[in-house]
Structure 1
């Protein structure tokens, strides 16, 4: 039986895996590394030569800036000029309208 009880995901990885994280071959990664680092790509640890995966992921997510959202922020369905109300308030208001208009709810006698 194995002495390993559970898998530990590495935080630091060798250049081969850092390259794979960017979907690059090691040769292409080494070729592009100076350009990537000029754009803020995290350097390897000076002692181990390993790359921090969390830093790589943060760089990937932040490299285009926060202003380039892919979609607009969601719009509220509430008509302008109307205060936002909760479900209970909307239900009470609808009941009042039904009573005022003389309409009854389907389940009402």
Structure 2
């Protein structure tokens, strides 16, 4: 007779940093209160801020970091965030 044993927990524990965080933690990460975050969210999203996961309602910390890196000019050759008017002018200029 074969006995099936449940996996035993390891005696070594590692901290787990969640990638998806609730709105309150995303707000804190941006040094905002939750009400400030919720008030500014539409404007942030117009600037490319990542949307929450449609299933959990949580925000992806890696996506938030990538968004901020792009805005700050730290994402390789990416330029800091431009206004939509500046983007349209630049695209029109390339058309001739």
Scaled to the shorter chain, the TM-score interval is 0.5 to 0.7
Q: 2:23 aligns with which of 15, 23, 29?
A: 15
Q: Which segments of 5 or more consecutive residues in structure 2 lack a partner in the other structure?
A: 1-10, 81-96
Instruction: Look up the SS of the partner of 2:57 in the other structure.
Output: coil
**Change in 2 beyond 3 A, CA 1:57/1:6:** same
User: Matched residue pairs, number?
Assistant: 66
Moved over 4 A (4+): none
Q: Are positions 1:5 and 2:13 aligned together?
A: yes
Which structure's CA Rg is the greater one? 1
Alignment RMSD (CA, Å): 1.8
Q: TM-score, normalised by structure 1?
A: 0.55
Q: Which segments of 5 or more consecutive residues in structure 1 lack a partner in the other structure?
A: 69-109
Q: TM-score, normalised by structure 2?
A: 0.62
